[in-house]
Amino acid sequence: MNFTLKIWRQANRTAKGHFVDYKVSEISPDASFLEMLDILNEQLVLKGEDPVYFDHDCREGICGACSLFINGRPHGKGEGTTTCQLYMRKFKDGETITVEPFRSRAFPVIKDLTVDRSAFDKIIQAGGYVSCHTGGVPDGNAIPVPKADADRAMDAAACIGCGACVAACKNSSAMLFVAAKVSQFALLPQGKVETARRAQAMVAKMDELGFGNCSNTYACQAVCPKHISVSNIARLNREFLGGKIVSPLRKEE
């Protein structure tokens, strides 16, 4: 298969970026999108040119590092897949493919297709940890948790923090990410100790880092590779408002 790639090249976060066209040929339809980029970079290195910078790690769809904006959609076409799970057979032979970084003020470009997503880490840090004592492994199993709640908590915990929700939202909101991280604790008894402040702290940090408000278009849910439901946003709102009533977050926190 042969493709024309329009790839965003940007030397650093302050430089002016632009699209550069590349041709790749004889690509196996069973190659993943990242493998195709590897082939392109091999060609560029052999020519003495600077390779295209992009993020990747596990290449198994569980780390969220491979965050690319492909043909106007985070992670490209297909549902429930990350970029590393996107295969070239999903494209037409001879197709022109546009590849960009995730665009958000909170995700500044490091170089080319690589962005700084450490804002997510700061939101997690603001949420703190679970401080209740659960004892050893057998004791953890002795804490009664309704199966429905456990299933919903596990579904929320499936979020890999890739940032697709931010890239898809016209306001660059991180509400789905924050909601998933709040829900995975709020649904379990172990997470109730800090429940009054967790949502407040994480939402405050999200606002501080420059993420926008929820657009209510459900674009985040549509592109999420782990099918995180927007129902978690409703839960986040309840936790946030409940915390405001029970224990308003002090400024020093």
Domain boundaries, the chain: 3-111, 118-246
**Average pLDDT of span 220-245:** 93
Has domain 3-111 been given CATH number 3.40.50.2300? Answer: no
Model pLDDT, residue 253? 47
d(CA 161, CA 30): 27
Report residue 145's pLDDT band, with 50, 70 and 90 as the boundaries: confident
231 has a pLDDT exceeding 60: yes
Q: State the CB neighbour count (10 A cutoff) for residue 17.
A: 16
The model carries a pTM of 0.90
| Domains 3-111 and 118-246 equal at CATH topology level | no
pLDDT (tens digit per residue) in 13-22: 999 999 999 9
Topology of the domain comprising 118-246: Fumarate Reductase Iron-sulfur Protein; Chain B, domain 2 (1.10.1060)
Q: What is the DSSP letter of 24?
A: E
> What is the reported pLDDT for 252?
46
Q: How far apart are CA 238 and CA 166, in angstroms?
A: 21
Q: What percent of the chain has a predicted confidence (pLDDT) above 90?
A: 83
Q: From CA 76, how far away is CA 102, in angstroms rounded?
A: 12
pLDDT in tens, 84-128: 999 999 999 999 999 999 999 999 999 999 999 999 999 999 998
